[in-house]
Structure formats: C-alpha cells, structure tokens
Chains A and B, each alone.
Chain A
C-alpha cells in the first residue's frame, strides 16, 4: 500500500494505482477524455494534468502511478487554464454542430465545454477577439458503406480509445492512427472502408459523436429514452444489455460497465435488434397442417408477399405452447415405439445456456433413451 496526499487529504491505495483512480476514490473530479477505466492509459488529451510537489511540470494523472508521500494538487488556476486551452484547441478543430449531432446530451466533450464555458467562436483566452484559435479544420472523405457504424471522423478528437478497445479487448486491430501532425487520423488500413467484426465496441467507448450506430440516426435523444435492462438472448454467454426504448420501440442497445460483461457486446447483441419489431417475427408456435409436399415451394415463406403469406393458415395452424409440446411428445413417443430410441437424435444450440444444454442432454438420455445428442458448437 502507498500513502499519499491529494488536495490536502490523505489516502492509502494499492501500489500501481494511478493518481486519477486514487483521486476518484476520494470523489475528487478530474476531467478526462482519453482515459477509459477498462483500457490501458493513453495520456493524449492532457486534460487530467495535476501538479505534484517537487515535479517541475504538470503530470497526467491517468498515467502516473502514485508513490509514497506524494503531494498532489488537482486544481489550481494554472491547471484550469491549461485545461481550458486544451479544450479550446480541440473545439477549434471540431464541427461544433451539437444541434444535429447524434451524441448531443450524452457527449463528454460537449459536457466539458459546457462546464468550462468554452465557445469555439470566442475562446475566453481572447476576450473581445474574433476567435483566435479558429483555423484550418480536418476534412474527411466519408468512407463507410458498412451497415452498422456511422463514422463522422471530423468529430474525432484522437483520444485513441477506439484503437485500444479494438486491439486490447476485441483483439482485432482493424483501426489505428495514421499520418502525423495535424493530419493524424484514425482509419482502417490504407484508409479503406471499415471492414471488421462490427462489434461496435469502438462506438461504445467513443466519447464524442465521431462513432455512432447507423441504425440510431435520428431515432431520438437520450432524454426521451426509457432504458430497460435485460439479458441478450442471442447466445449462452448471456450478456447484460440495456434496451433504449422510445415510443415502445427499441432504438439502440448498450451495455453497462458494472455488469459482468463490463459493457462489451458483439455485433448481434449491439446491432441485431431489428427483429424485435419485424412483421416476420414468429410470436406463437405453429403446427403444420398441410401435407409436407405442399410446403415444398422451393422458396421461403417470408419471401412471399403479404397476401400469399396470409395463406400461411392453409399450411400452418397457430397453437398454444401446451398444444405444441403435447404434439411433440406424442410424435416422439410414436417414433420411439415404432423404430426404437436410437432412431431419434437431438442437436442443441450454443444460443442456449449451459443449464438448458444440460437439461437437453438429460432429456435425450433419460426420457428418450438415446445417447444421440450433440451440439452445434462442436462443428
């Protein structure tokens, strides 16, 4: 353990703790943009600078580990002044179009600009002047034909979080920094279109409106959203997800950092929610009533237009779960009696939980009486 003093208060923390995390334990607020609790420290935005006694220049609290007897000051007029300059510089290279930005209301940059009272057009540094820092801005050629991730890279502040999450959490490394100087940017190799797993982890960690979901566009501000916590049904991993619901419609899915999946999701959990309100979605069990060959259309029922689809009733009958299960059980019994239990096989799914898979093999062995049971994940 290491003892140190932050803003006049003593605290004891584990060795290796950063000054930023130690301060947060004391509920001392230090502004940050590039830091993310789950990613390795970066030290790029320079907002979290603090003064440490005996060190001639300010240090980034997000990267500096504590040491015994350290005396830290997190806010002085000089530090606040530096933070303001940094924010002014960021905004001098930013579209500043919060009114039409998907991220407004939920944007770290917007919030910091608000609390520091910074307008890009009149930085406090230059009272009365006509925007001293306004200058050239980065312009990007838009290259994102992908269906999931909307990239407005002129809003990118190069905090590096997306690069890190893609590398450190997802292990993909689809994006990185490119070029140098003012022209530095984040992009896929050779500045091509994004072509990756589309897990959207980068979207989840982006503190600005640079990365958002394509499907989220113009679907409502965060203040109009009702958040519903639930579990993702796509696979047995069982990630905790939060549905963002507006007017009884899911418009976005996120995940919370304090849940066991730590805020991370895959492409299905994050972007695969449109089935919920799809007219093709099956909500009740169906039992086939027409003989099999009639169904052999050679195409999928969902491909039919709605008029024909209504004729579904000629092929399938909607039933209750009880009826459906009774039907299955009767059929299984019939086959078992006629052909023996080994004429039946069961294939389970990775989308089921471990418990469900356990029950399924138990059912096959004890109730049906066969060892013919397998699992799709084995393929």
Chain B
C-alpha cells in the first residue's frame, strides 16, 4: 500500500497562476479515476505555501512513499495525465517535471524561516506540529528564564528583518528590563515596499511560525497581549492567520495557563488601510491607537513608551518567524550562517530581468553574483546586467561591476544601498536609471505622511526635477540640485521614509551620472524615456510588409507595399506598437 501526498502551491504566485483550479482538477480527477481504495486511503491533497520559484507556478510536489517529484507550470488540464500516469501508473510525466534549472534555483539557498513553507499544510495545525511546531515555545515555557531566552536570541545574532536591522535580542532585553504592568508585542505585517512579498508568503504559508515567535517573544519581554498589524490588501494572509490563531487557542498555545504556566497571551489582528508609512513603527502604533498613521520623533523609543504609552516590542514577520527555529536548533546553529555582523539567512524577493523570479532565502554574505547567476539563472534574453536595486524605495542600486559584493547589512550600506526588507530588482541594459529613480520617488512622495516639510515638499520637488529631466527639459545644474536637495531631505526628515526616500536618486547619480547627463543633452541611453525617443525605420531591414502601418494607432506611418515605410515624427505618439510588431527588427528607437 503506497502513501501519496499531493502538495499544491497556494502561495501568492501559486494562486495568481491558478492554484485553486489545479486543486479542484486534482479533486475531480482523483474522484473520476476512481483511485483504488488502498491508494486512496493514503492519498491526500494539501494546500501549501510558497515554494519560492514563483515564475514556474503552479508548482506541485507529488510525494509517493516518501519520494518527491516536482511538477512545474502545472495547468488544470495537465492534471489528468499526472493522475493516470504517475499516481496510478507510477510513471512520472517526465516532460512536466521540474528541470535542472529548478533544482539549481534551490542549490545555494538555505531555508530557515521558509523551511516549512511549501511543505506543511497551512490550514492544519497538526501539520505544523508534526514538523516540530510549538516545540520551541514549549521548551521556553517549561525550562527557560526570560533572561535565557533573550540571551539566546542575542547570541544568535538575529537582526530585525523589517528594514533597519536592529539586533532583536537587544530590543527584547531593553523591553524586558523596562518595568511596567502591561507590555505589548506587535508583529509588523504591513509590508508596504512595492515588490516585497516575503511577509505575505510566510504568513500565508506558515502562520503558526509567526504565532509561535510572538508567543516566545511575549514570554521573553513579559507581554500578555500581542497585535498583528496586517494590511487589509492581504485578505488571504488575514484569513489564514485568523484561522491559525483560532486553532492555537483551541490547543491552548494561546489564552490562559499556556503550557501549564500561569501566563496568558492573546493576539489581536489590526488591519491597516494600506499606507506605506504605517509600517513605520511609531506610525503603526498611532494607527492601532486609532489616530492617523503619522510617525512621531524618537526618542522615546517604543520599547520604553510604545502602544498606549506602554513598553512595546515591534518586530517584523520574518524576524518573528525565525524565532522558533533559533530556539529549537540553537543560537550557535543559526549564527553559523552569515557573516560576522550579519547572521543567519534573509529572504529576498528576486524580480526584474533574471530568468528565475520568486522568493529566495539565502545565507547572509552570499555574493550578488551567486544570487543572480546561480539562483536567478542569469539575465533573461542574453542581455547585459546593468545594476541591481536592493531595498526597494528606501534602497539604492549596485552597478554591474560590483556584482561580487557580499549581500549583508554592512557591505550593502558601504556602497550606498541597503538590505531593507529584501526587495531585489535586477536591471539590464534596457532599464533607464533616471526613470527608475523617478518611479521610486513617485511612490515615496505619494506615500509621505505629509507631516514634515522636507519629505512632503522636498520629495515633490525632487520628483519634479526628475520628471523634467526625463522629459528632456532638464536644466544645467539640475544634477547638483538633486544631490543637494537629497542630502537635505535625508538629514532633516523626521522618519525613515523621508530619511531614505532620496537614496534611489543619490545612488543612481553616484553610479550612473552619465545617464543623467545624457538626459540633460536630450538622450535616454536605454531608450525608455518616451519624450526623448524617436522611432524610425531602417531602410536596409524594411521589407515593406506594412505590419507597422496597420499597428500604428495614430497613422504616423506611410509607405507602399514592398517599399520602404516611414514614420512621421510629428504625428508619432511613441507608443512603440510598430517596434513590437516588426518581425524584421527594422523599427529603431533612440
């Protein structure tokens, strides 16, 4: 009698690619194929969290008697063959199984916080428990003092994954030592960085790890209440977390007399309305208190005066989800990964022009080259790497010639970027750096809370200067003005948003000043900025097929059949339709 486990990715990428349909296909195919009773007994279908390689979703793991086969890019119509040939016939459908590239994607990764993600059924607390879940909390409640717990976390070298990289153990210790009748622990699940989705993946794929991390934290600092501040745009994460909290309550991991102690701990969800700035800890506290989410100056720090004026620890989802694994396997094990000052692993959302995009977890200190070429599979379409933007709108870019840099807090800071929450966008020769800086500024400007002048008005002016540059209307001295204003905004702004908003501008100027200068002269070297482009047709390639003429929405193209076609620049709206449609690469943009 064989046991069959079917694990379907229902992470953010899995769902977007049709994971739910794949699951129903499995359900109906299994029913229809009338999988014989003995197999059926041991055949279970599981919804699991993010596998990592989202670009190959829907990913399905088929585990027959312990042997795992992974299928990639599964569509509902492929399920019938998988069921009949593999589950029933015991012969894998070779052409759909994961290729070498898939396996290479994981080779250099080290999964700690994501170790159970994609392996356990997020809807089933027993699935988490069977993988050792809640053992760490039990260990803590049964035999560790709060001092010992904070010491263990300190020794592990874990630093906050929410962006700033503050040592978690130090934060906990400060809060533990602050005397107060009531303390709070808050899980920051606001995740507002564009392109970041690691916190979402962790909550959706392994919600109990976050709960267990909070539970251990509550014990260490002496908090009886916890909040998860989670953005309302994550309805699935909210639902799965709610469900997990209910289950944890039923099993006695939350509530009163936890693990037979006199301690109690409860978690409440607070939904954020989707303001990026509400991820900033003091704004987040204001928001929970029912105020407008605007940061306040620190000191006092939340560990001394936080929610409702009480000592409060705020940690990021990924930070907290690491805790159970550190307690279970020990600080020495955790700190064996990483560099001297940046310990452990970090999850990155790898996107942009690499072959493999998705969530990756790598040991700190891995080189950028390894991430892009070994894990990411290199640049798509054989183009040249130009730069990597890390840390989202608060971060900076790292030019291609620095690709051997180690990815850790210190090394990235040294070159003017940050680890941040783990956004990693790979840019190739077709990306315009000025345009990219403008994109991020657009985001930070519209997300500024409006409280302080340098951020509210300063980023607006930065954006205006950038947009006149990308429109070919830049003035002499604009680059210097950008630099000066950026520095002033960084030093005069109140919170991390304003203090980091100019980073994309400063780092692109630092490494790609020539691109800015080219724009001032009216050229966009990457041919991205529309206003600076002209489209024309190369005589030697044009076959006169007329495809461009038909595609042009503004009738800017003229030409007789089989004769050279021409674009009238005065009529052209620069939509690029001709460029996309020409099979002979005769349309050029410059």
Question: Could you tell me if A65 and B446 are in contact, using CB atoms closer than 8 angstroms?
Answer: no
Chain A residues 82 to 114 lying within 8 A of chain B, measured CB to CB, are 82, 85-86, 89-90, 92-93
How many A-B Cβ pairs are below 8 Å?
Answer: 113
Chain B residues 308 to 357 lying within 8 A of chain A, measured CB to CB, are none
Instruction: Kindly name the residue among B275, B452, B464, B493 whose own CB sees the greatest number of chain A CB atoms within 10 A.
Output: B452
> Given A126-B477, A158-B456: A64 and B297 within 8 A (CB)?
yes
> Given A58-B492, A180-B446: A125 and B454 within 8 A (CB)?
no
Task: Judge if B484 is at the interface, Cβ distance under 8 Å.
Answer: yes
Q: Which 6 A-B pairs have the closest CB atoms?
A: A184-B450, A89-B457, A63-B297, A182-B460, A43-B297, A135-B464
> Given A46-B493, A176-B292: A136 and B453 within 8 A (CB)?
no
Partner of B294 from the list A136, A177, A179 (CB cut-off 8 Å) is: A177
A132 and B448 alpha carbons, distance in the complex (Å): 22
| Per-residue interface assignment for chain A, residues 63 to 74, with 1 indicating a CB less than 8 Å from any chain B CB and 0 otherwise | 111000000000
Task: Judge if B247 is at the interface, Cβ distance under 8 Å.
Answer: no
Question: Could you tell me if B457 and A92 are in contact, using CB atoms closer than 8 angstroms?
Answer: yes
Question: Could you tell me if A181 and B481 are in contact, using CB atoms closer than 8 angstroms?
Answer: no
Task: Judge if B494 is at the interface, Cβ distance under 8 Å.
Answer: yes
A219 and B543 alpha carbons, distance in the complex (Å): 78
Chain A residues 178 to 198 lying within 8 A of chain B, measured CB to CB, are 179-184
Question: For residue A63, which residues in chain B have a CB less than 8 angstroms away from its CB?
Answer: 296-297
Question: Could you tell me if B450 and A181 are in contact, using CB atoms closer than 8 angstroms?
Answer: yes
> Given A89-B453, A92-B461, A157-B453: A46 and B299 within 8 A (CB)?
no
Question: Could you tell me if A184 and B449 are in contact, using CB atoms closer than 8 angstroms?
Answer: yes
Question: For residue A85, which residues in chain B have a CB less than 8 angstroms away from its CB?
Answer: 454, 458, 485, 488, 492
Question: Could you tell me if A86 and B297 are in contact, using CB atoms closer than 8 angstroms?
Answer: no
Question: For residue A126, which residues in chain B have a CB less than 8 angstroms away from its CB?
Answer: 477, 481
Partner of A180 from the list B277, B453, B457, B464 (CB cut-off 8 Å) is: B277
Question: Could you tell me if B445 and A181 are in contact, using CB atoms closer than 8 angstroms?
Answer: yes
Given A85-B485, A86-B488: 14 more A-B contacts, CB < 8 Å: A45-B452, A59-B297, A64-B299, A85-B458, A126-B477, A136-B464, A158-B451, A177-B450, A180-B275, A180-B449, A181-B450, A181-B460, A183-B450, A184-B449
A233 and B141 alpha carbons, distance in the complex (Å): 68
A57 and B496 alpha carbons, distance in the complex (Å): 12
- Within the complex, what minimum Cβ distance (angstroms) separates B283 from chain A? 11
Chain A residues 115 to 171 lying within 8 A of chain B, measured CB to CB, are 125-126, 129, 132-133, 135-136, 157-158, 160
Partner of B491 from the list A82, A89, A179 (CB cut-off 8 Å) is: A82
- Within the complex, what minimum Cβ distance (angstroms) separates B273 from chain A? 11
Partner of A43 from the list B447, B452, B485 (CB cut-off 8 Å) is: B452
- Within the complex, what minimum Cβ distance (angstroms) separates B454 from chain A? 6
> Given A158-B450, A184-B456: A46 and B464 within 8 A (CB)?
no
Least CB separation from A41: chain B residue:
B297
Task: Judge if A49 is at the interface, Cβ distance under 8 Å.
Answer: yes
A309 and B255 alpha carbons, distance in the complex (Å): 79
Partner of A82 from the list B449, B488, B499 (CB cut-off 8 Å) is: B488
A44 and B277 alpha carbons, distance in the complex (Å): 15
Partner of A46 from the list B275, B477, B492 (CB cut-off 8 Å) is: B492
Question: For residue A32, which residues in chain B have a CB less than 8 angstroms away from its CB?
Answer: none
Least CB separation from A93: chain B residue:
B457
* Chain A residues at the B interface, C-beta cutoff of 8 Å: 41-46, 49, 57-60, 63-65, 81-82, 85-86, 89-90, 92-93, 125-126, 129, 132-133, 135-136, 157-158, 160, 176-177, 179-184
Question: Could you tell me if B446 and A46 are in contact, using CB atoms closer than 8 angstroms?
Answer: no
A160 and B457 alpha carbons, distance in the complex (Å): 16
Question: Could you tell me if A135 and B494 are in contact, using CB atoms closer than 8 angstroms?
Answer: no
A193 and B23 alpha carbons, distance in the complex (Å): 54
* Chain B residues at the A interface, C-beta cutoff of 8 Å: 275, 277, 292, 294, 296-297, 299, 445-454, 456-461, 464-465, 475, 477, 481, 484-485, 488, 491-494, 499
- Within the complex, what minimum Cβ distance (angstroms) separates B374 from chain A? 37
Question: Could you tell me if A44 and B461 are in contact, using CB atoms closer than 8 angstroms?
Answer: no
A103 and B12 alpha carbons, distance in the complex (Å): 55
Question: For residue A45, which residues in chain B have a CB less than 8 angstroms away from its CB?
Answer: 452-453
Question: Could you tell me if A160 and B451 are in contact, using CB atoms closer than 8 angstroms?
Answer: yes
Question: For residue B449, which residues in chain A have a CB less than 8 angstroms away from its CB?
Answer: 180, 184
Least CB separation from A65: chain B residue:
B299
> Given A180-B449, A181-B448: A46 and B454 within 8 A (CB)?
yes
Question: For residue B294, which residues in chain A have a CB less than 8 angstroms away from its CB?
Answer: 177
Least CB separation from B296: chain A residue:
A43
Question: Could you tell me if B458 and A177 are in contact, using CB atoms closer than 8 angstroms?
Answer: no
> Given A43-B452, A44-B453: A49 and B447 within 8 A (CB)?
no
- Within the complex, what minimum Cβ distance (angstroms) separates B282 from chain A? 11
Partner of A135 from the list B461, B484, B491 (CB cut-off 8 Å) is: B461
Question: For residue B297, which residues in chain A have a CB less than 8 angstroms away from its CB?
Answer: 41, 43, 59-60, 63-64
Partner of B494 from the list A44, A82, A160, A180 (CB cut-off 8 Å) is: A44
A58 and B489 alpha carbons, distance in the complex (Å): 12
A126 and B477 alpha carbons, distance in the complex (Å): 9
Least CB separation from A60: chain B residue:
B297
Chain A interface, >50% SS class: loop
A58 and B490 alpha carbons, distance in the complex (Å): 10
A56 and B452 alpha carbons, distance in the complex (Å): 19
Question: Could you tell me if B481 and A132 are in contact, using CB atoms closer than 8 angstroms?
Answer: yes
Question: Could you tell me if B448 and A89 are in contact, using CB atoms closer than 8 angstroms?
Answer: no
Question: For residue B465, which residues in chain A have a CB less than 8 angstroms away from its CB?
Answer: 132
Question: Could you tell me if B458 and A180 are in contact, using CB atoms closer than 8 angstroms?
Answer: no
Instruction: Kindly name the residue among A59, A86, A132, A180 whose own CB sees the greatest number of chain B CB atoms within 10 A.
Output: A180
Question: For residue B296, which residues in chain A have a CB less than 8 angstroms away from its CB?
Answer: 43, 63
Question: For residue A43, which residues in chain B have a CB less than 8 angstroms away from its CB?
Answer: 296-297, 451-452, 494
Least CB separation from A58: chain B residue:
B491
Least CB separation from B488: chain A residue:
A85
Question: Could you tell me if A89 and B450 are in contact, using CB atoms closer than 8 angstroms?
Answer: no
Least CB separation from A157: chain B residue:
B453
A43 and B297 alpha carbons, distance in the complex (Å): 7
A214 and B492 alpha carbons, distance in the complex (Å): 36
Partner of A49 from the list B299, B484, B492 (CB cut-off 8 Å) is: B492
Question: Could you tell me if A89 and B454 are in contact, using CB atoms closer than 8 angstroms?
Answer: yes
Least CB separation from A123: chain B residue:
B481
Question: Could you tell me if B448 and A180 are in contact, using CB atoms closer than 8 angstroms?
Answer: yes
- Within the complex, what minimum Cβ distance (angstroms) separates A377 from chain B? 34
A92 and B459 alpha carbons, distance in the complex (Å): 13
Question: For residue B451, which residues in chain A have a CB less than 8 angstroms away from its CB?
Answer: 42-44, 158, 160, 177, 184
Question: For residue B484, which residues in chain A have a CB less than 8 angstroms away from its CB?
Answer: 125
- Within the complex, what minimum Cβ distance (angstroms) separates A136 from chain B? 7
Least CB separation from A81: chain B residue:
B488
Question: Could you tell me if A82 and B450 are in contact, using CB atoms closer than 8 angstroms?
Answer: no
- Within the complex, what minimum Cβ distance (angstroms) separates A75 from chain B? 15
Question: For residue B477, which residues in chain A have a CB less than 8 angstroms away from its CB?
Answer: 126, 129, 132
A59 and B299 alpha carbons, distance in the complex (Å): 10
A133 and B275 alpha carbons, distance in the complex (Å): 27
- Within the complex, what minimum Cβ distance (angstroms) separates B488 from chain A? 4
Question: Could you tell me if A135 and B275 are in contact, using CB atoms closer than 8 angstroms?
Answer: no
- Within the complex, what minimum Cβ distance (angstroms) separates A314 from chain B? 63
A92 and B461 alpha carbons, distance in the complex (Å): 9
A85 and B454 alpha carbons, distance in the complex (Å): 8
Question: Could you tell me if B445 and A182 are in contact, using CB atoms closer than 8 angstroms?
Answer: yes
Question: Could you tell me if B456 and A86 are in contact, using CB atoms closer than 8 angstroms?
Answer: no
Least CB separation from B484: chain A residue:
A125
A254 and B277 alpha carbons, distance in the complex (Å): 38
Question: Could you tell me if A181 and B456 are in contact, using CB atoms closer than 8 angstroms?
Answer: yes
A136 and B450 alpha carbons, distance in the complex (Å): 16
Question: Could you tell me if A86 and B454 are in contact, using CB atoms closer than 8 angstroms?
Answer: yes
Question: For residue B493, which residues in chain A have a CB less than 8 angstroms away from its CB?
Answer: 46
Question: For residue B456, which residues in chain A have a CB less than 8 angstroms away from its CB?
Answer: 158, 181-182, 184
Question: Could you tell me if B492 and A82 are in contact, using CB atoms closer than 8 angstroms?
Answer: yes
Question: For residue B460, which residues in chain A have a CB less than 8 angstroms away from its CB?
Answer: 93, 135-136, 181-182
- Within the complex, what minimum Cβ distance (angstroms) separates B165 from chain A? 16
Partner of B457 from the list A60, A64, A182 (CB cut-off 8 Å) is: A182
- Within the complex, what minimum Cβ distance (angstroms) separates A147 from chain B? 29
Question: For residue A157, which residues in chain B have a CB less than 8 angstroms away from its CB?
Answer: 453
- Within the complex, what minimum Cβ distance (angstroms) separates A31 from chain B? 13
Question: For residue B299, which residues in chain A have a CB less than 8 angstroms away from its CB?
Answer: 64-65
